[in-house]
Structure 1
């Protein structure tokens, strides 16, 4: 790329995202022409896609930075994941949708608890996968059904379970509400702790700057 021409200008000329041009330039500087050879399509686990998407949404990082960090050849892939996620679409591939080996059998009570936990924790599917030992596909489906139909949407309608009509006892309802509130309190407590830590660091930084200024003034006298 000629000196003085920005990646965005080249991208506009060839109808390619400037971020992708920037990534190609970086790969060329690092590996020469070998870095620009077409790589075989790579299948990324859904959990990894979620991790990258949530890092982009919560940590104010960029697509090129994430591509470098996770060694993803095409920065546009991350853009597609973020777009799908924010539009409410699943990040699973067709093969993953047909393969539920990573999931497990659950009761209606468990499905409601998991859906409530995900919602209370800002759609943290990665956390739900680790905490409850279920697959992304399961958690995603349960949250979608719970938002649409409530607890009735998470009934198990197969076989004899259909006869029970998915009715929860009052104790089960109270237990679920208690767990939902606990998850919300824990999330709010974490957010408060983070804010307090940031404020503490800011105070220290202000004090440090004052001390530096006083020290400089003392040297001038």
Structure 2
């Protein structure tokens, strides 16, 4: 999926050229563009190093291996480069580099990042009710990792997110596809039911209520477990 940022390529180039032409300071140009000063500095040094290519919009996110991230962080630690220098050298947003540095200093493992663009742009495929329930439950049981689920099941990211939210908010029954058309106007007139029929109807309603309560409790437990584990990792 292409990452279309808040500021266009043309806006970034003009801001950099304005600074080169001494039409303003980083502070004044950033203010006129509507960005923060650090972002403008980031654009400028990348532009000086790579030219207009620095702001090319790619069709998918860049991949960064664990080894590459560590090598970048070590260049920073050795004092040879600042985060801004590394941003310009590798054409990577300086905020991302600082994120890697902070993780490294805090003992958080730097992992390979290889985005699968197709989970955002792939064509939708038909799924069964059972598949949708299985997928939603997998997401809930795996730290709400929508993207990993999309990769695993070959389903578009937006569908994974939608189905999981439906499952959490309304239960697995909400993932059943219902035929379109006018709703039936047939209603049960309880006054015309026999005593046995009324008892049967009340029993069915009670079972449905208990099923919903049981489901809500189970989801609540899973969410609490996920939040505890995330807090522990942090």
User: With structure 2 as the length reference, what TM-score do the two structures score?
Assistant: 0.38
Higher helix share: 1
Bigger radius of gyration among the two: 2
